[in-house]
Amino acid sequence: MYIQSGEWVIISRVKRQFRFRDKIFKNMRFRFILFAMLAGFLPCVAALFGIAKFYESRAVELRTAEIQNQCTILCNQLNNYGYLSDTSSEVINTSLVQLTNIYNGRVMVIDEDLRVIKDTYSLDEGKTDVSENVVRCMKGERTNFYDRTNHYIEVTSPIVESGGDKVLGVMLASVSTDNIETTKQVLYTHGGVIIGIAMILLAMFSVFLADRMVRPIHKITGAIENVTEGYSDDVLHVDTFTETRQLSEAFNKMLGRLKMLDESREEFVSNVSHELKTPMTSMKVLADSLLEQDNVPVEMYQEFMQDIAKEIDRENQIITDLLSLVKMDRSGQTMNIQTMNINDLLEQILKRLKPIAEKKNVEMVMESFRPVNAEIDETKFTLAVSNLVENAIKYNRENGWVHVSLNADHKYFYVKVEDSGIGIPEQDQAHIFERFYRVDKSHSREIGGTGLGLAIARNAVLVHRGSIKVYSNEGEGTTFTVRIPLIYVAA
């Protein structure tokens, strides 16, 4: 039991460590500072090493050329003084010692038998030197070699017979590059100090800049948190950067949309309450009128009961429309998509609505420009078109007409519902798809309907990823155009 508890404690600590690490490394401010430091540090270090390497290469190149030149001059003097046969010349020996002292090196003179006849260190005199560079030089080839590990340059120069090409010997000079290495270390030291100071300044600037960049985001975050707590009246103005300005504008649009939705919801609840209460009030008044009178004639009972039945039907219609609207508003609703013949479906809808049109003496005409098959939810599509056509009949003139046309292209099909009705005023056209909105409120009860038909039609079209538009002039009729994709694409 204790071991299990111990394991649990260890796991908890590990989780806390991971959470702390994520909090640090996923922090935008920390990442910006880190990236800025790396962006400054890496190029500086690379530049420092590059400069040091370039200096070393150039210094070695110049030192090698300088030693090679000195050796060439001394080789000519050696030949002139016959030094290979007699090494007692003070002039040559002094020159060799001076070369050794100036360049902190060692000079050896080797004859044609590869025997060392002079060594400024006096270590290898009389010995034979068969090193590769000496052998190559005896063939007339100048050589040089830089040992980076031991910090020295080795140069060989042939001693050539005067007026000829015969190689009589070799001068081998090894000089130290400690001073070059020292200068390189000084470069690293001073460069490191400069980089360190630059990094401190860069860190301070990065912290300042990161704070300035993150501050607008914190402000936006605070505004969002205020909205979640119920404070939705503050408009956000963060124009520090183009991106934050765009973000604040999007936030303000969202806030405006939320306010609009809130107002719409309140208005919807108020309208629902009113619409549901109105038939109930009417029925209550009718029932009370019958109860308060004695010896009521049967004809009056029948008349009042007919009125009550109409109010009940109206109540049922409102509830049915509300349920349809709620179902289509619900996220993740099921779409029963099938490939349907739209031509046949429209004919069935018009056939079903024909009695209503005949009652008002309205002529209905359908025109199909081509056969159309599309993937739709039959119930929802039928509901949308039925509401549009029924409205076209209800708000039409006596002896008017309703024209329904069907067309398609390679991507969409189009249903157009035109009528010769009373039209919609321009100021009302932006609101006709709102729930319970009626253009002619004074005659709404005479015409019938719940004010939900166009809202239902719009939602039914939108769930098909389609669009609906209205074109109308008051007194000249109305045209609704529905566009729906031929192939349904789920979200």
pLDDT tens column, 318-337: 677 667 666 666 555 677 89
Domain count, the chain: 3
Q: Residue 323 domain-assigned?
A: no
Q: Residue 1 domain-assigned?
A: no
- State residue 450's pLDDT score: 59
pLDDT top residue among 248 and 54: 54
According to the 3-state scheme, what is the secondary structure of the chain? CHHHHHHHHHHHHHHHHHHHHHHHHCCHHHHHHHHHHHHHHHHHHHHHHHHHHHHHHHHHHHHHHHHHHHHHHHHHHHHHCCCCCCCCCHHHHHHHHHHHHHCCEEEEEEECCCEEEEECCCCCCCCECCCHHHHHHHCCCCEEEEECCCCEEEEEEEEECCCCCCEEEEEEEEEECHHHHHHHHHHHHHHHHHHHHHHHHHHHHHHHHHHHHHHHHHHHHHHHHHHHCCCCCCCCCCCCCHHHHHHHHHHHHHHHHHHHHHHHHHHHHHHHHHHHHHHHHHHHHHHHHHHHCCCCCHHHHHHHHHHHHHHHHHHHHHHHHHHHHHHHHCCCCCCCEEEEEHHHHHHHHHHHHHHHHHHCCCEEEEEECCCCEEEEEHHHHHHHHHHHHHHHHHCCCCCCEEEEEEEECCCEEEEEEEECCCCCCHHHCCCCCCCCCCCCHHHHHHHCCCCCHHHHHHHHHHCCCCEEEEEEECCCEEEEEEEEECCCCCC
Which whole number is the average pLDDT over 132-143? 90
Do 162 and 282 fall into the same domain? no
Q: What pLDDT digit, counting tens, does each position of 139-187 carry?
A: 889 999 999 999 999 999 999 888 778 889 999 999 999 999 999 999 9
- State residue 453's pLDDT score: 77
Do 462 and 345 fall into the same domain? yes
Q: Residue 39 domain-assigned?
A: no
Q: Residue 438 domain-assigned?
A: yes
Q: Residue 42 domain-assigned?
A: no
Among 161, 180, 199, residue at a domain's last position? 180
Do 431 and 294 fall into the same domain? no
- State residue 411's pLDDT score: 93
Q: What pLDDT digit, counting tens, does each position of 112-121 carry?
A: 889 999 999 9
* Average pLDDT over all residues of the chain: 83
Do 347 and 438 fall into the same domain? yes
CATH number, position 113? 3.30.450.20
Do 302 and 341 fall into the same domain? no
- State residue 18's pLDDT score: 52
Q: Residue 466 domain-assigned?
A: yes
Do 349 and 455 fall into the same domain? yes
Do 348 and 463 fall into the same domain? yes
Do 481 and 337 fall into the same domain? yes
Do 270 and 393 fall into the same domain? no
In this prediction, residue 247 has a pLDDT band, given cuts at 50, 70 and 90, of confident
Among 180, 214, 230, residue at a domain's last position? 180
Supply the range of the domain harboring residue 283: 242-310
CATH number, position 337? 3.30.565.10
Do 348 and 277 fall into the same domain? no
Do 347 and 479 fall into the same domain? yes
Q: Residue 19 domain-assigned?
A: no
- State residue 232's pLDDT score: 62
Q: Residue 194 domain-assigned?
A: no
Do 116 and 256 fall into the same domain? no
Among 160, 180, 200, residue at a domain's last position? 180
